[in-house]
Chains A and B, each alone.
Chain A
Amino acid sequence: MSALNADELRRDAFRERLALFGLTLPALVLVTITMILPIAWLFSLSLLADDGSISLENYRRLVEQPSYGRIFATTFEISAAATAICVLLGYPLAYLLSQLSPRVANLLMIGVLLPFWTSILVRTYAWLVLLQRHGLVNTWGIELGLWDEPLPLVYNPGGTLLGMVHIMLPFLILPLYGSMRAIDRNYLKAAANLGAGPIRAFWQVFFPLSLPGLLAGSTIVFILCLGFYITPAMLGGGKVIMVANRVANDVELFFNWGAASALGVVLLVATMIVLAVASRLTPLGRIFGGHGP
């Protein structure tokens, strides 16, 4: 009798869990319809040759045409450079903020959150206004006598990189700051107590403890950079072509869905590989945890 009841209870509990899982279904259906299926569709398109037969022609072209190799090289170089600059600028800021009282830190954090909440389009437009030929920076530079002719500050890789760093910096700072706040300060006191100078205490105690947050932040920055479209399109002036720009061009200008799909699939796979490597070093929850305020 009691065995029967235990069985019944277990089945009942399972049914309830299943019902709870059912609450997830509308969200899963939405993601499936608007993302999983379309991307699966693109994947199948990438396997079709121009005459409609199944082939790897689109991928063969990716390997054989040197222009695609250059686009991938540009994408990885710019993404790596943007991530490195974000680390150099973001680490000191997160470090200092994590040491201030929460009240002061929250106040200064508004300076990080305000750009984070402002449209990427608006922020990129502001850089265009600042850096163009007769923009603010060139006008001031010439008025102050720093240079004579307007400098080409935008529509080149440098301008694109600057814009991307500006967009991505909050994505690095937020998870990094969160993880630094969680570091127990007593470890530093202990290090000082044991005779470590401030520099040694930082490098041997604080820095290693901040690495998971740093890794999470740089991973999300690098991944978002890999797929970046708007800023290279606006600040690159057609000279900085990253993978995402080429995907859009292949569809919009050349109506070459096969090439665009193959390129997109490779980009997605590259993103997944970066994520997989990072998730071996730090829990994925950390990477996503820093998203949003």
Chain B
Amino acid sequence: MSWLGRSATETQIPHRSRLWLYLITGLVLAFLVLPTLVVIPMSFSASQYLEFPPREWSFRWYESYFQSDKWMQATATSLKAASLTALLATPLGTMAAYGLFQSRLRFTSLAMPLLLTPIITPVVLVGIGVFYAYVRLKLVNTLVGIVLAHSMLALPLVVLVVTSALKSYDMNQETAARSLGASRLRAFLLVTLPQIRFAIMTAAVLSFLTSFDEVVIALFVSGGDNSTLTRNMFNALRDQIDPTIAAISTVMILVSSLLLALSQILGRERR
């Protein structure tokens, strides 16, 4: 155990004197990760009560999820909404980030906070506001309505991720391409875009997740055949604790983990 005596920091604290710090960090990480993972083994229980560890194992709650028309329809709606949100928010946010970054006009300093307001506006306020507007626009319970509202929520994330990529990119390369005769669009597509593509892909993944996980706006503006998965889960939880939710949660944890892994791999390639 000689490493205990070795110094750990610039100020020469030996590992031995900061074991408490390692302990706290370990406990906080456990607090962050473990509670959610408990759902996974429970979802394979054969009993209709949630048990940990399950006394008998089965796939019955997965069957009840995958064989239910209602859940499958909601899943399809959520996947459609999330994909369309990524397809809409990513180009819109990228264009906005590029425009704001390049134009440097006085009023652009006003546009940026406006684009970021969805992050800080209480989402319940957006929910009832959008519902009120959609009633008049006849967009309640439509896929278009959900996608528009979710894209607005995802927009600031795209703008932030792409702007930070543009900041670390040398814009002179685009200027060089244009001085050699390329149009601005061509220069962007052939020179800039390939170099910020990982940021754009990350932004698309984030937009997808923003929509897929969103509950509050979906509670107000989705319904009927266009109910999202999270809306149905939230409503099911109000009544009873149905183990089917544990199975769905496990699937959702799997999706998030895969997307996180994807983004980590993208990030590594960027470096």
Contact = CB atoms under 8 A, between A and B. Distances in A.
Contacts of A126: 35-36, 38-39, 249
A134 interface: yes
B78 to A, nearest CB: 11
Contact of A264 (B11, B113, B125, B259): B125
B182 interface: no
A136 B96 CA distance: 48
A155 interface: no
Interface size class of B (residues with CB under 8 A): 35 or more
Contacts of A288: 116, 119, 156, 160
A257 B102 CA distance: 42
Given A97-B25, A115-B36, A121 B11 contact: no
Contact of A39 (B36, B129, B149, B267): B129
A73 to B, nearest CB: 17
A289 interface: yes
B50 A42 contact: no
Given A39-B125, A128-B241, A292-B157, A27 B96 contact: yes
Given A110-B264, A192-B10, A288-B119, A96 B32 contact: no
Nearest to B128: A251
Contacts of A135: 50
Given A23-B95, A198-B13, A201-B11, A114 B33 contact: yes
B237 A117 contact: no
Contact of A244 (B22, B124, B149, B264): B124
B206 A247 contact: no
A121 B125 contact: no
Given A20-B99, A110-B260, A136-B52, A38 B129 contact: yes
B204 interface: no
B182 to A, nearest CB: 15
B125 A267 contact: yes
B21 to A, nearest CB: 5
Given A28-B111, A127-B35, A248-B128, A234 B246 contact: no
A81 interface: no
A89 B128 CA distance: 34
Interface string A81-108: 0000000011011011101000000001
B130 A291 contact: no
Contacts of A198: 9, 11-13
Contacts of A122: 36, 39, 249, 252-253
Interface in A200-239: 201-202, 223, 226-227, 229-230, 234
A134 B51 CA distance: 10
Interface in B144-173: 148-149, 151-152, 155-157, 159-161, 164
Interface string A18-45: 1011111011101101111111011001
B122 A30 contact: no
Contacts of B83: none
A229 B216 contact: yes
Given A41-B129, A125-B245, A292 B206 contact: yes
10 contacts: A20-B102, A24-B95, A39-B126, A111-B29, A122-B39, A169-B28, A191-B11, A201-B11, A229-B123, A230-B234
